[in-house]
């Protein structure tokens, strides 16, 4: 009996050690503002592609993104998602399979959505999309307060309201948003600042390509362990009723995320120990007459999606089982994937019970490792 107990103990230890290797050491939260689940899972909308109110050159857009099947259309639009994430990660939110990712806050606008994602708390207090500091503690701020991550947390975002959503003055980590200058400590940042300065008509949303470039340079030089990359032009083009530009930006975002993943996987610091969590802050209208809108009274505004790739994420692909996930669960999931527990002092959503191999869940595995410490 004693030998059986020792064997079981050794076996458990070996399993935990093997699972510990799968735990993420670094995590990237990537948000794509107002990107509908419909384009993620079904590709370009046939009716909108043919609608000259929203598409300038319908023939060219059809040649680029039309296909008779959803599987082919979505692969044309987002090849990285459907060639890489679908093969090696997990994709949630295809409502055709009753697999849903939902917004839990009642407002279905950006400030409320990002607050829900990052703090885990769908605040009932209404805050419009304005530059007002957030009272809720976010998961990046919490991780930055932990010894393992202090000074290793950063955010780069296109929308210039993020320093307030993240409460940069209180949080204590660097946030670069909108057309804010980068520190001119090397030639690359000088070049990016020069390009930003040359843009004549700036809006509150920086070009995503500039945000992505700035983030990529920072990653290469400083190797943060926790990063947020917030991309915003999808929402901008949708509000402008430009479905063609919206589609092109989705395709650009897919390429940017793909190139960022390649950079991570070819960097020894990040290779095979880094996780991407990719999501959106809200949905949009379901109909061809409302696709460009989102708020409390537009049906579809609360419908979101989520993708995961990397360390600790089993290759389950497109999730086709009945399941309901909320954006408020992401903050706790981010912490748990790093082996931490998010304790902000206010109510939050529970971590998502992510599937893993051998009929176990990634969440329960990491929780066991955390409890062992």
Q: What is the pLDDT of residues 263-276, one digit of tens each?
A: 999 999 999 999 99
User: What is the rounded distance in angstroms from the CA atom of residue 76 to the CA atom of residue 340?
Assistant: 38
Segments forming the whole domain that contains residue 21: 2-372
Contact by Cβ (8 Å): 264, 77:
no
- Residue 81 in tokens: 């998602």
Q: What is the mean pLDDT of residues 251-256?
A: 98
How confident is residue 367, by pLDDT bands cut at 50, 70 and 90?
A: low
The answer to whether residue 148 scores a pLDDT higher than 60 is: yes
pLDDT value at position 245?
98
Q: What is the mean pLDDT of residues 52-68?
A: 98
Q: Which helix (H) or strand (E) holds 174?
A: strand 174-177
Q: Look over the chain and give the mean of its residue pLDDT values, rounded to a whole number.
A: 92
The answer to whether residue 325 scores a pLDDT higher than 60 is: yes
State the virtual CA torsion across 135, 141, 146, 152 in degrees, nearest 10: -160
CATH of the domain at 12: 3.40.720.10
Q: How many structural domains does the chain have?
A: 1
Q: What percent of the chain stands above pLDDT 70?
A: 90
Q: What is the pLDDT of residues 277-324, one digit of tens each?
A: 999 999 999 999 999 999 999 999 999 999 999 999 999 999 999 999
- pTM of the predicted model, to two decimals? 0.92
The answer to whether residue 111 scores a pLDDT higher than 60 is: yes
- Residue 280 in tokens: 């959106």
- Give the 3-state secondary structure of residue 101: strand
Q: Write the CA distances from 272 to 22, 124, 291, integer angstroms.
A: 8, 39, 38
Q: What is the pLDDT of residues 209-231, one digit of tens each?
A: 999 999 999 999 999 999 999 99
How confident is residue 346, by pLDDT bands cut at 50, 70 and 90?
A: very high
Q: What is the pLDDT of residues 9-41, one digit of tens each?
A: 444 343 334 444 457 999 999 999 999 999 999
Closest residue by Cα to residue 175 from 140, 136, 142: 140
- Residue 314 in tokens: 């089993």
The answer to whether residue 246 scores a pLDDT higher than 60 is: yes
The answer to whether residue 335 scores a pLDDT higher than 60 is: yes
Buried-state track 136-162, b at ≥16 Cβ within 10 A, e below 16? bbbbbbbbbeeeebeebbbbbbbbbbb
Higher pLDDT, 3 or 103: 103
């Amino acid at each position: 009996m004693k030998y059986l107990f020792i064997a079981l103990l050794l076996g458990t230890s070996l399993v935990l050690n093997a699972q510990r290797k799968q735990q993420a050491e670094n995590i990237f939260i990537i948000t794509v503002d107002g990107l509908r689940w419909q384009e993620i899972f079904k590709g370009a909308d046939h009716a909108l592609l043919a609608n000259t109110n929203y598409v300038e050159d319908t023939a060219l857009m059809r040649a680029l993104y039309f296909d008779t099947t959803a599987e082919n259309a979505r692969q044309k639009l987002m090849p990285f998602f459907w060639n890489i994430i679908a093969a090696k990660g997990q994709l949630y939110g295809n409502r055709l399979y009753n697999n849903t990712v939902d917004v839990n806050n009642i407002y279905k606008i950006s400030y409320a959505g990002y607050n829900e994602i990052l703090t885990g708390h769908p605040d009932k207090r209404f805050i419009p999309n304005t530059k007002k500091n957030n009272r809720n503690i976010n998961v990046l701020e919490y991780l930055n307060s932990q010894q393992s991550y202090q000074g290793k947390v950063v955010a780069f975002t296109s929308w210039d309201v993020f320093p307030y959503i993240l409460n940069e003055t209180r949080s204590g980590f660097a946030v670069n948003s909108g057309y804010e200058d980068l520190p001119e400590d090397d030639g690359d940042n000088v070049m990016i600042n020069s390009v930003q300065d040359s843009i004549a008509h700036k809006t509150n949303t920086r070009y995503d390509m500039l945000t992505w470039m700035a983030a990529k340079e920072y990653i290469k030089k400083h190797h943060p362990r926790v990063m947020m990359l917030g991309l915003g032009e999808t929402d901008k083009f949708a509000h402008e009723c430009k479905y063609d530009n919206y589609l092109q930006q989705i395709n650009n975002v897919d390429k940017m995320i793909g190139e960022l993943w390649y950079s991570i996987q070819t960097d020894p610091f990040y290779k095979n120990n880094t996780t991407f969590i990719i999501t959106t802050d809200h949905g949009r209208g379901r109909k061809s007459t409302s696709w460009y809108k989102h708020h409390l009274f537009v049906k579809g505004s609360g419908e979101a999606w989520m993708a995961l790739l990397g360390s600790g994420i089993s290759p389950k692909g497109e999730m086709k089982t009945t399941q309901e996930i909320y954006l408020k669960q992401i903050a706790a999931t981010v912490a748990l994937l790093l082996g931490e527990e998010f304790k902000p002092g206010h109510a939050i959503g529970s971590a998502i019970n992510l599937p893993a191999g051998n009929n176990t869940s990634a969440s329960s595995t990491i929780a066991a490792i955390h409890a062992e410490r």
